[in-house]
Amino acid sequence: MLGALGTGTLPYLAALPAYAKTPAMAAIPYGAAVRTDPLYDDPAYKKAILDHCQIIVGEGGLKWIDLRPDRHIFDFTQPDRQLAFAEEHGLEMRGHTLIWYGAMPEWTETIASAEEARFELVSHIETVVGRYRGRIRSWDVCNEPIADNPTRDAPIRDSVWQRHLGRDYIELALRTTAAIDPDARLVINDYDIEQATDSGRAKRKAFLDLVRDLKARDVPLHAVGLQGHIRPDIPIDRSGLTAFVAELDAMGLGVLVTELDVIDDSLPGPVAERDAAVAAVAKEFLEAIGAACRPEAVVTWGISDRFTWVPIWFTRGDGMPNRPLPLDADYQKKPMMQVIEDFTRSFNQ
């Protein structure tokens, strides 16, 4: 598979310490979103991250609601601890996220003009990226910019940035990030791109239109992140997803899987049956992407069912715990982890 796609070193692979680059290492690095306290307080959690991951990303910490409790205060406690852990153990850390419509502190609702929005956006990126310049080498600069049901006249999701700056906020964020850290890899991240639905097809089109426009105007953008919060009750459009990724690849853009999990509230209760179904869906998603290019990374949104956002929104009707991630609540490997290992290593062949 690798021979057909080229042998250039991936950005993450190049960044890993020399001792980590063993012949058995996967061609595609794997990572997981992490919660800060368990990294230091739960030895089993720490071991799971170190046993399986080359990348971490903070599940929280770099979102505005965490960083900016007040307009004039930046609280870097969480990301500083996450990055210290990564650097101590030879891992990469991705930055998530600089600009998002969600997880915003209440004070941002008082932003009242384009001038004020521009000032807050630019000064936030200058402060955050400046603090981690050269240490965090990949950023989800704009997270989830595409509307859930995009139309020709309204492809971009509503947000404080869209309301005051229009879609130009995306270009402003990318150019500002590039100016502060010219070596950083800049990513736009979104979800539901894989779905075989009218809204999924519309999101793919709106996303491609946005990327083409940015590229045509030489806006700095290096890769697209496909989140992959997969719903097994909604079919994956394999050909549509592969074609979407192929178009990104043809434009010279990289592709990352950034937030993979399988939302299992619609799946049968028996654990073995459910775990097999979760793994099968993850495999279908990854293979559809891999048919077009070699992803730069595969990152799951958490590593263990012990720590997952899924029950907050998708509690199972039978009362059983959700099982959306590669390791179970006791940090034991599930079939999904084997799928990820097989996929990331297949590009060595």
- Could you give the residue numbers annotated as active site? 144, 259
Question: Within a 13 Å sphere around the CA of 297, how many CA atoms are in the beta-carbon half?
Answer: 32
Question: Which residues does 181 contact at the CB level (< 8 Å), separation at least 6?
Answer: 129, 130, 132, 133, 134
Q: Looking up tokens 């609280």, which residue turns up? A: 75
In contact, 294 and 5? CB cutoff 8 Å = yes
Three-state DSSP class for residue 37? helix
Three-state DSSP class for residue 303? coil
In contact, 161 and 99? CB cutoff 8 Å = yes
Q: Please give the sequence-ordered ranges of beta strands (E in DSSP) within 103-233, or none if there are none.
A: 138-143, 185-190, 223-226, 229-230
Q: Phi and psi of 225, rounded to 5°?
A: -100, 125
Q: What is the secondary structure of 231-270 as a DSSP string?
A: -TTS-B-HHHHHHHHHHHHHTT-EEEEEEEEE--TTS-SS
The span from the CA of 305 to the CA of 48, in Å, is: 12
The span from the CA of 301 to the CA of 283, in Å, is: 16
Count of H helices and E strands in the chain? 14, 9
Strands 185-190 and 223-226: parallel
